[in-house]
């Protein structure tokens, strides 16, 4: 599996530090035990100690990866899954931002929007799947809908909260300097709420990914989930493990994407700023 390393403190020279980190990682002592486990797993599988239908050998997974990539099966299904997440995220994050702005920027909006959402929030998301199937059938709609709903709440809750906790002293100062309501929102409130929004975005990516896995169990004829379902029927643990790795890899990639966004958008933050 992937190894998780803690990041060293950021410096002003990302390229150099990345090089150093990469060089350090090549013979890092932390890499030893995962490698040993991987080796034991391989040996166990080859000697038949771990049966193929329980867990395929790492080398077999790698081979499957090559096969499925060359046949186009993996890229195609991956694309289908990615598009589902993208569509769901777009809807969920878009709605989350709009409603959080409504509730965050006006008292009347809050009274209107917040109470029902706070009630809905307490429903366990994945328990809604049966209802979604009844409402939307088993096509793309319930899948994208579930992802959208999952992505919606973290963005709504975090952005709403962030708007409300923008430093009142900064708002007061901006009013003294004659900013209009619109300028106040643009120059003070939205940038002040940006860290909260990005935190929400990160959470919502995680939830969206989880929702995808569940949603694709609903009679999917394409996507990573359908690949897993077929593999399950034929006891192809190599394909299942491969898909798990792909899920994990994309989760990491999405997280890195938001972090890159943070570094850009929050360049003013003391943790990023080096005088």
State the residues that interact with other proteins by CB under 8 A.
169-170, 172-179, 183, 187-188, 191-192, 194, 266-270, 273, 275
* Cα end-to-end span (Å), the chain: 38
Q: Measured between alpha carbons, how far is residue 115 from residues 110, 161, 200 in Å?
A: 8, 14, 19
Nearest-approach distance from CB 272 to other proteins, in angstroms: 9
Rg for the chain, CA atoms, rounded:
23
Q: How many CA atoms lie within 13 A of 86 on its CB side?
A: 7
Distance separating alpha carbons of residues 120 and 108, to the nearest angstrom: 19
Phi, psi torsion values for 97, nearest 5 degrees: -65, -45
Nearer Cβ to other proteins (172/233)? 172
Q: Under a CB-based contact definition with an 8 Å cutoff, are residues 242 and 68 in contact?
A: yes
Nearest-approach distance from CB 99 to other proteins, in angstroms: 24
Nearer Cβ to other proteins (48/275)? 275
Nearer Cβ to other proteins (30/269)? 269
What is the SS3 assignment for 241?
Answer: helix
Nearest-approach distance from CB 100 to other proteins, in angstroms: 19
Distance separating alpha carbons of residues 236 and 48, to the nearest angstrom: 16
Concatenating the DSSP letter of every residue in 125-158 gives GGGGHHHHHHHHTTSHHHHHHHHHHHHHHHHHHH
Nearer Cβ to other proteins (129/174)? 174
Nearest-approach distance from CB 96 to other proteins, in angstroms: 22
Nearest-approach distance from CB 65 to other proteins, in angstroms: 43
Listed in sequence order, the residues at least 6 apart from 157 whose beta carbon sits closer than 8 Å to its beta carbon are 100, 121, 200
Nearest-approach distance from CB 160 to other proteins, in angstroms: 19
Nearer Cβ to other proteins (46/274)? 274
Nearer Cβ to other proteins (62/170)? 170
Interaxial angle between packed helices 73-105 and 107-121, expressed in degrees from 0 to 180 and rounded to the nearest 10 = 140
Nearest-approach distance from CB 267 to other proteins, in angstroms: 8
Nearer Cβ to other proteins (22/168)? 168
């Amino acid at each position: 599996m992937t190894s998780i390393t803690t990041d060293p403190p950021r410096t002003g020279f990302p390229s150099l530090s990345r090089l150093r980190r990469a060089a350090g990682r090549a013979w890092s002592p932390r890499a030893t035990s995962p490698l040993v486990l991987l080796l034991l797993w391989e040996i166990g599988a080859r000697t038949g100690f771990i049966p193929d239908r329980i867990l395929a050998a790492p080398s077999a997974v790698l081979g499957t990866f090559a096969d499925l990539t060359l046949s186009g099966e993996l890229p195609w299904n991956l694309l289908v899954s990615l598009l589902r997440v993208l569509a769901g995220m777009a809807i969920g994050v878009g709605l989350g931002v709009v409603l959080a702005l409504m509730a965050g920027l006006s008292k009347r909006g809050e009274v209107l929007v917040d109470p029902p959402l706070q009630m809905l929030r307490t429903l366990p998301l994945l328990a809604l799947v049966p209802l979604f199937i009844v409402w939307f059938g088993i096509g793309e709609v319930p899948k994208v809908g579930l992802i959208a709903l999952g992505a919606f709440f973290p963005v709504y809750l975090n952005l709403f909260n962030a708007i409300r906790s923008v430093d009142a002293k900064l708002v007061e100062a901006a009013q003294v300097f004659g900013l209009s309501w619109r300028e106040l929102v643009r120059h003070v409130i939205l940038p002040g709420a940006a860290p909260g929004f990005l935190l929400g975005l990160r959470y919502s990516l995680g939830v969206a990914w989880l929702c995808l896995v569940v949603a694709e169990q609903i009679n999917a004829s394409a996507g990573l989930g359908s690949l897993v379902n077929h593999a399950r029927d034929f006891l192809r643990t190599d394909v299942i493990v491969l898909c798990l790795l792909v899920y994990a890899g994309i989760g990491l990639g999405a997280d890195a994407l938001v972090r890159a966004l943070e570094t850009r958008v929050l360049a003013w933050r003391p943790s990023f700023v080096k005088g």
